[in-house]
Amino acid sequence: MSGSSASLQPPADAVKPVRHPDAPAPGELLGAHYGACFGCGSEQPHGLHLQARAGEGVSITAEFTVQPAHQGAPGLAHGGVLATALDETLGSLNWLLRTIAVTGRLETDFVRPVPVGATLYLEAEVTAVAGRKIYSTATGRLDGPDGPVAVRADALFVEVKVDHFVEHGREAEIKAAMSDPDQTRRARAFEVNP
């Protein structure tokens, strides 16, 4: 996308992203990174329940169907919810790098209104990596994977350690996550890089 700000332009020393050898195969569903996640978790009744699938290289596809709970104007998706769908899809890319990263900056274009009941077909890819900084881009289309673009975004994610969550998250949820062996395994798996 041409309109993004200077801080979303990769620096001259940025490199191409490298797909981790243990990344899920193209076509495989990624599953939720956290059950209570508003974007992808199954435990949030009004969440997006976004399902992301590994693509080729460092790319992801995902689908999200707009529910009545996601309205801003009558019958239309709230822009913040659409930004969440883009953010979640972009965040899923980090699974393919086996890097834990959080959104530092997200720039979103809202191109077409998205009605309730519509399915947003999202695709995202990492474009460059510079140290801890991961640059990525995403689009969301209507009517199918080749349909008209409704939303798009450019983002900068910043790599963090698991300690980021332990340090900043509310104690009750952190304790629950740490006592869940599946959650701990998923989080720790990211800390072992080749």
Ligand X SMILES: CCCCC/C=C\C/C=C\C/C=C\C/C=C\CCCC(=O)SCCNC(=O)CCNC(=O)[C@H](O)C(C)(C)COP(=O)(O)OP(=O)(O)OC[C@H]1O[C@@H](n2cnc3c(N)ncnc32)[C@H](O)[C@@H]1OP(=O)(O)O
Q: Least separation, in Å, of the C-beta of 194 and ligand X?
A: 18
Could you say whether residue 110 binds ligand X (CB under 6 A)? Answer: no
Counting beta carbons within 10 angstroms of the beta carbon of residue 145, is it exposed (0 to 12), middle (13 to 18) or buried (19 or more)? exposed
Q: How far apart are CA 142 and CA 128, in angstroms?
A: 27
Q: Which of 148, 176 has the CB closer to ligand X?
A: 176
Kindly state the number of chain residues that form the binding site for ligand X, as judged by CB under 6 A: 25
Are 88 and 48 in contact by the 8 Å Cβ rule? The answer is: yes
Beta bridge partners of 159: 101
Rounded CA-CA distance 50/38 in Å is 9
Decide: 189 and 96 in contact? Cβ < 8 Å.
Answer: no
Instruction: Choose which of 70, 82, 87, 137 interacts with ligand X (CB under 6 A).
Output: 87
Q: Site for ligand X (CB under 6 A): which residue of 50, 77, 100, 114?
A: 100
Reference 138, options 122, 127, 149; nearest CA is 122
Tell me, residue by residue from 24 to 53, as one string, x for binding to ligand X by CB under 6 A and - for no binding: ---------xx----x--------------
CB of 156 to ligand X, least distance (A): 5
Instruction: Kindly state the smallest distance separating residue 79's Cβ from ligand X, in Å.
Output: 16
| Among 16, 46, 132, 161, interactor with ligand X by CB under 6 A | 132
Q: Which of 52, 58, 114, 177 binds ligand X (CB under 6 A)?
A: 177
Consecutive H or E run containing 85: helix 79-97
36: three-class secondary structure by DSSP: coil
Beta bridge partners of residue 163, listed in sequence order: none
Q: Could you tell me the smallest distance in angstroms from the CB atom of residue 90 to ligand X?
A: 7
List contacts with ligand X (CB under 6 A).
7, 33-34, 39, 87-88, 91, 100, 102-105, 131-133, 156, 158, 160, 162, 165, 174, 177-178, 184, 187
